[in-house]
């Protein structure tokens, strides 16, 4: 398959997902589309049988799956960058190894939308929240189309844009974040990516009103199952990276201040993080 023939590169990063990676790969292989797509899987030196499962599928479907096996544990951000640099498609679809897709026409629907709507940089869709045994924990009862702009994302609005729903244009502007040193200090890399991509392109995010993927909560999850206090500390840390590294007009600064007061200030005060709260408020005032 020549690079010119690849419309979509599926970028899947994984680490110790031996119980889930097969379901993810099967959901990639089941995609039906009028274009060619490639599957790039970056394994971050898993200590379980994740790589063995990937190699089994790679041998079963020769030429369909490319495994990038890191000899050392790089961490999520570097693993993602390594994987993306191998993607040759006009578009890149993201899905981590513990999530999966449930609609065989997902890629076709998203590509069709972006091909017809050049003012959008990312296309997402609704998702289903599940646990380790695939039990549904939540799904939106009435999906409706959503549009998110850069300003929306700054204000904390990013509904139905989980990583496993993302398909975006593979252009240099969408990857500028990966060349900024502070990116490696953030926790929610997917949130920073959406902010950076919309800021540097001026493009918007469209959310198709269909449930086409599953996002899994499980004990091995990087984000979903961590302690609530630690999670909030990480969210606030990322918030401070956002206000210091992204540009916004005066009205945007006001919205960020209100967002901080509404969502984070009480937590800071209750946990006696007075100096941190003072520094954030000082920056926004």
> pLDDT, tens digit, for every residue of 138-182?
999 999 999 999 999 999 999 999 999 999 999 999 999 999 999
pLDDT of residue 246: 96
Number of Cβ atoms within 10 Å of the Cβ of 229: 10
Residues 254 and 277 reside in one and the same domain: yes
**Considering 216, 242, 273, which residue would you say is the last residue of a domain?**
216
* Rounded mean pLDDT, 37-45: 98
∠ Cα 227 228 232 (to 5°) = 120
For residue 135, what pLDDT is reported?
A: 94
CB 250 within 8 A of CB 222: no
Do 242 and 135 lie in one domain? The reply is no
Residue showing tokens 């990087």 = 222
34 lies in some domain: yes
DSSP state of 237: H
* Contact between residue 111 and residue 208 where contact means Cβ atoms under 8 Å apart: no
Is 264 a domain residue? yes
Which CATH number does the domain housing residue 121 bear? Answer: 3.90.550.10
The pLDDT of residue 249: 86
Q: Which residues pair with 43 in a beta bridge?
A: 14, 69
- Please tell me the predicted confidence (pLDDT) of residue 3: 47
- Looking at the structure, tell me whether residues 91 and 194 fall in a common domain: yes
| Contact criterion met (CB below 8 Å) for 197 and 203 | yes
Angle at the Cα of 104 from the Cα atoms of 148 and 24, rounded to 5 degrees:
85
Last residue of a domain, one of 216, 245, 273: 216
Find out whether 138 and 82 touch, Cβ atoms under 8 Å: no
28 touches 60 (CB < 8 A): no
**269 occurs within a structural domain:** yes
Tens digit of pLDDT for each residue in 249-272? 888 899 999 999 999 999 999 999
Task: Say how many residues make up the chain.
Answer: 285
Q: Quote the tokens at residue 249.
A: 């007009």
* Alpha carbon distances (Å) from 276 to 45, 125, 188, 240, 267: 36, 36, 19, 10, 11
DSSP secondary structure of 158-219? -TT--GGG-EEE-SGGGGGGGGSGGGGG-S-HHHHHHHHHHHHH--EEEEEEEEEEEEE--T
Q: Which domain holds residue 66?
A: 3-216
* Local confidence band at 222 (pLDDT 50, 70, 90 cut-offs): low
In a domain, 91, yes or no: yes
Average pLDDT over residues 74-99: 97
Is the pLDDT at 28 greater than 50, yes or no? yes
3-state secondary structure of 62: coil
C-alpha dihedral over 250, 253, 255, 261, to 10 degrees?
-140
- The number of folded domains in the chain is 2
């Amino acid at each position: 398959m020549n690079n010119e023939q690849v419309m979509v590169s599926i970028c899947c990063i994984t680490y110790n997902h031996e119980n889930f990676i097969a379901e993810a790969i099967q959901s990639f292989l089941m995609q039906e589309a009028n274009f060619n797509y490639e599957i790039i899987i970056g394994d971050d030196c898993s200590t379980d049988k994740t790589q063995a499962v990937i190699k089994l599928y790679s041998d079963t479907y020769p030429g369909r799956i490319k495994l990038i096996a890191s000899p050392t544990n790089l961490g999520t951000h570097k693993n993602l960058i390594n994987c993306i640099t191998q993607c040759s498609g006009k578009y890149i679809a993201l899905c981590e190894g513990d999530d999966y897709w449930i609609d065989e026409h997902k890629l076709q629907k998203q590509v069709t939308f972006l091909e017809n709507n050049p003012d959008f940089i990312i296309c997402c869709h609704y998702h289903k929240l599940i646990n380790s045994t695939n039990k549904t924990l939540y799904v939106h009862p009435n999906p409706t189309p959503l549009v998110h702009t850069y300003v929306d994302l700054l204000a904390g609005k990013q509904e139905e844009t989980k990583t496993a729903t993302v398909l975006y244009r593979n252009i240099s502007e969408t990857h500028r974040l990966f060349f900024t040193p502070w990116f490696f200090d953030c926790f929610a890399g997917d949130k920073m990516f959406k902010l950076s991509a919309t800021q540097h392109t001026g493009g918007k995010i469209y959310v198709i009103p269909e449930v086409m993927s599953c996002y899994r909560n499980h004990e091995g999850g990087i984000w979903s199952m961590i302690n609530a206090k630690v999670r909030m500390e990480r969210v606030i840390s990322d918030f401070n990276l956002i206000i210091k590294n992204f540009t916004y007009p005066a009205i945007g600064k006001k919205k960020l201040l209100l967002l901080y007061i509404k969502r984070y200030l009480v937590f800071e005060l209750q946990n006696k993080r007075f100096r941190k709260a003072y520094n954030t408020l000082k920056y926004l005032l």
